[in-house]
Amino acid sequence: MKGNLIITIAIAIMLVVAGCQKEGCTDPNAINYDSKAKKDNGTCVYPSSSTQIMVTFDANGGVGTMPPQTFADGVAQLLANNVFTWANHEFIGWNTAADGTGNPYSNAQEMTLEASITLYAQWMAASGALEGHYFVDLGLPSGTMWATCNIGAHNPIDGGDYFAWGETQPKENYTLANYKYYDGTDFTKYSFTTIQILDSDDDAAAVNWSAGWHMPTSSDFAELNNNCTHTWTTINGVTGMKVTGPNGNCIFLPAIGKLRDDNPSGYGLSGYYWLCELAHTMDFDASEAIHFVFKPTNEFHTNRYVYRYEGLPVRPVFVR
pLDDT in tens, the chain (320 residues): 555 555 454 444 444 444 557 888 887 556 576 768 888 888 887 655 556 799 999 999 999 999 999 998 888 999 999 999 999 999 999 999 999 999 999 999 999 999 999 999 999 999 999 999 999 999 999 999 999 999 999 999 999 999 999 999 999 999 999 999 999 998 989 987 778 899 999 999 999 998 799 999 999 999 999 999 999 999 999 999 999 999 999 999 999 999 999 888 999 999 999 999 988 665 556 789 999 999 998 889 998 888 999 999 999 999 98
| Same domain flag for 91 and 175 | no
| Same domain flag for 109 and 140 | no
User: CB burial class (10 A; 0-12, 13-18, 19+) of residue 264?
Assistant: middle
| Same domain flag for 200 and 102 | no
- 280-308 core/surface letters (b: 16 or more CB in 10 A; e: else): eeeebebbbbbbbbbeeeeebebebebbb
| Same domain flag for 119 and 150 | no
The answer to whether 246 touches 138, Cβ cutoff 8 Å, is: yes
Domain membership flag for residue 61: yes
| Same domain flag for 68 and 164 | no
| Same domain flag for 139 and 172 | yes
Q: What's the domain count of the chain?
A: 2
The CATH number of the domain holding residue 65 is 2.60.40.4270
C-alpha–C-alpha distance, residues 235 and 254, integer Å: 9
DSSP string, 200-246: GGG-HHHHHT-TT-BPPPHHHHHHHHHHSEEEEEEETTEEEEEEE-T
Domain membership flag for residue 243: yes
Domain membership flag for residue 185: yes
| Same domain flag for 111 and 142 | no
Domain membership flag for residue 148: yes
| Same domain flag for 70 and 182 | no
- 131-168 core/surface letters (b: 16 or more CB in 10 A; e: else): eebbbbbbebeeebbbbbbbbbbebbbbbbbbbbbbbb
Q: Of 125, 150, 174, which residue is a domain's last?
A: 125
C-alpha–C-alpha distance, residues 114 and 132, integer Å: 39
Domain membership flag for residue 11: no
| Same domain flag for 107 and 154 | no
Domain span at residue 79 reads: 52-125
Q: Of 125, 148, 168, which residue is a domain's last?
A: 125
| Same domain flag for 292 and 202 | yes
The answer to whether 180 touches 188, Cβ cutoff 8 Å, is: no
| Same domain flag for 158 and 285 | yes
| Same domain flag for 109 and 228 | no
C-alpha–C-alpha distance, residues 251 and 218, integer Å: 18
Domain membership flag for residue 279: yes
Please, how many CA atoms are within 13 Å of residue 186, restricted to the half-sphere of its CB?
Answer: 5
Strand partners, 85: 63
Domain membership flag for residue 27: no
Q: Of 93, 108, 125, which residue is a domain's last?
A: 125
The answer to whether the predicted template modeling score (pTM) of the entire model surpasses 0.75 is yes
Domain membership flag for residue 76: yes
Rounded to 10 degrees, the C-alpha dihedral 295/297/303/307 comes to -40
